[in-house]
Structure 1
């Protein structure tokens, strides 16, 4: 779904709604509300607008790209010389961090610069100093600024690619992910003078003008293909890692590329993710594919790359090598060895458990390490994965055609065959049209619910029964139903939940799953589809390789770093449900069993099921008459029949935090030892709170409550923060508990401090 965020939009004047304000500036004390689309600033030339509304305009700047606000009750305010963006809970999401004793004004210039200045015309803050992924004409790129790409075409959060001045004063493109960081433009093997660059430019400054000329202090310059015309232009570092100059075409009402940094996209590092290959087909662009024996991690995003589709053994006697011709890998190089034979290279790779492949003769062939017994043959690979880029272009074949004497019989047969072929083509076209129409009709449910374009779909009961092999492999169960592992027709592994009873009509069920299917967040389980046939109600989710948090705590497979990241990710997922969704949702059953872990141990909140949607912040108890939580994680509101709010999830989350830290479940009594004697059993919350109070008298808090399975390996400051946050979340008074967004902020603040 589209996130309502604060941004500037590049748009032509006549495309702006007539109901919009014509203000290009606001004074102190003014505020913009997300629920009022008319609350926008528009530059005097009508080209730029600033506000919450997204529509179809081109985004050139965002204030809060990594922390979107929800679509209700969010507000942008100008107070005491400070521009402040607040969420529905009045929590500060973003601010300019400025102050002024005199009155200030926020204005939007004709260049697209959002400027905050005081009465003395002193600029306190301007958006040109904080670019996101776009540089506008007259906007400077300096030693203190950089362009950072978006994550994907629809996800505007921070991506993997950066344009910046490096420490050697050179303008470069950088691929930057947690695992690796590498320069990919200009060619990293070139020294500055070979690339016509100069390192003698301590100013580090670059600028684009409206005529289409870009110049940098390191001597790099380019001109657009239409240089000399005064047009609307923007230089954008796109999500695919390529830097492109665009011009606006009035006739076609579209953006046209007039220059780009990289002509062959496969040279962009990480463009297909890890363990993958990129091939370039002239006229067709880039094509990504996984290495033989590997599979995509995320079918919706190549950025996640591929992962092994086999169990790797470090035993060198169980490994073999597959030849990949005309393939070049980069990153994670173990070493370079001169005067090594082929056998020596192979044997060295076999001795290293983390060796995935070796290259013999630089720039020629790669030998990929695979387990013995894989079913991938060299012949299949060479055809599907091999890419021969040695040819400089298309080769013209020299052919001579000699016309023979005319044969009327042959001519008749050819004309007859042509007639039949034409009739056949007409029949195929008619059948194709009918199939398309049938398909469109099948994409619309009988109650009018259209299948989502993102792959969310309706499954038949027989298809899901076939996918689960008759519902044989059970991977989980709860009060709502049993979860089975299955393989869909497109080979995706899925978790298929079979609900115990159809307690809703089909129309109500479809209305709710259609909302859940549109929810998209990295810390929420993704629903791929559903089944509603007769009394059968099934939900299809992505499969999580490492199971639930409960299983991993029991198996002691989580170190301190993983536990903290799980705490943060879970908080972000719940915060999104509470405040960032246009359809607000309460979970009502937050517990370790409903926090699932993917292949990288990243958490995804699951089972935020049906009949839990909010229209207001408070619900009557009748709306939740059939919802059952889990003993030990239930907030006091449930027990005392009080109004239910999002704070019930906050309470449950606090219990989960205590369980992550102590390794002890809330339903079990906790025994402590004082003066060598075991005290009476206590509830987990009471036990931790008493330990925290005793910490004031220099009694070691963490050593007594921390999970002994961690063996003392943890960050003391971060653990103290988790204890503090958890105890705030489990306050008896719901008003004393923080919101989930506030929890996220507290955890992030401590995480950044510790780094």
Structure 2
């Protein structure tokens, strides 16, 4: 009987589904739309969109907008809902256009489920435009409220996603209430996808382990807006863009944050009822966070789709909703009397929620650490590197391919309470990871020594020299740097590059051979390289005092060291720009790439990893994406202007200001205004204003700029020289043509230093 009643209720839903009619696209003040009258529907003038009460469950309705052309009688494509989380009753619910300018959705009990909270002294009307935008306006056609400003999970062409309102997915394909996924602009002005689950929140697009500049995004924008057009072109203020697969055709389109967490663009012809996916953000569904809930693994097959499964010893919590994940079939008690074992899972990976990062651990040490941490649910161990990551929560689990990210990758173990439990022995077989290495050709099996001492190393040599890449010195956009001891007992820094497996060896070898020919006292010396299949590494001299960035945060750099570092860095860049056989642009001048030897002499590093251009080649198309670091990047990178050596000059000017002030250019500087209000300025503006103040009688401008870590002990004249180079010499000018060359910078620094020395 219950089944019969359920079927009848579904039939009733279909019969009550609002059908588009020739109704007006305007609703006047003092009138209303009723849920009980299927004819109470607004229709856009072109007939493409309808607005009215839409059934979302048994006797549950939402005031919504949907595609009505081509006509639909069921499963219409809804693009907006007013009350997705507070559905109203199927009887006596109304949308009222009240006098005074407010639009109110009331339930059967006359309670307010939703309203626009608007006020108008003049008459108002509600219009459904051809774009699908529902607009409340007054008699002067001034918009008081519009649906385009309050999207749910869908954007339509010309509709803007803004900094204030995110897209929020539906809970599921059959539940239109707010789900767990957000598309939004973060505090760095970047558009991102986020999982906001019942217990945890995490970002997953773009890849969260990438730096902003690696994703091709631009943080220096304040508009925080994104939109797309009917041709399928999407643009965002952080310069992220994409085109649909059918770009160019004028079609019905919608951009939807689906309930599975993927952002997709759908297209269809005006006479077609079938939507086609023409773009999606995530190509691998299992990389979307939260898809299978905690204590589970996600696997994907192109034919059968995505599949969730519990890890051994766990059972599904809610068979109707995988987002709740799995729960243990055992009790794990944190005491020394409970015997605990670990079950090994190969070809599996869990992202995030670590009890810290612990390098250089043996697998036994990692196991012991997990047992000592009461909340540890298991640990992830990377073979070869000795990286240990104890897990507090087992989330975002996925099965990986055997070839993914190289050969033998991650080992995961899960704590299982033993002693008396039926799951004392769990037989669980995973496909063993079969690693294979590309056989190097004959040329890569050995190494050669050039006349300069620049030589080729084998991968096995560097693996031994780094003790299996165990001591990490640092990492950046280009790769990870490890400390090594070569066979001749020299201490070296080995940089393991992030390069695609398909990168052409000939191109790589041509570039490193150029780097190997570079020889200057203020440039890091490159001793050799390795190129075996996917393995691309560079071998550098080791710098005892690390990077300038590390030392700026301490009190080790007095004013004399800072001045000499500034001069030496300028000399190194001038050599790259004007004295090399080939014109070398650095493209990422920053404190992290200025290394200091035992005497604190500066050496520029990473100078050959961007792009080697021949002199006179100013074609910006040589650069496939933006390079650089937030705070140091020249405006040309985002203005589609030719990329020349002046981008390095700009970054050097920023570096000078950081050397003098000790302030990170990515951070704003708080400034007290004359009115007593506190405001913030960019580092460049702040320094320029201080320098300009000297022309108006401010004799303390240098003291106000200099890093307080120097405690007032500095040569005022030399610090003034550095600021003058950055500001007065226009290194940090927006117009690249106004900036000097690096050779001019060196000339000025040296000449001013000589004048100052002679005057003493």
TM-score by length of 2: 0.48
TM-score by length of 1: 0.48
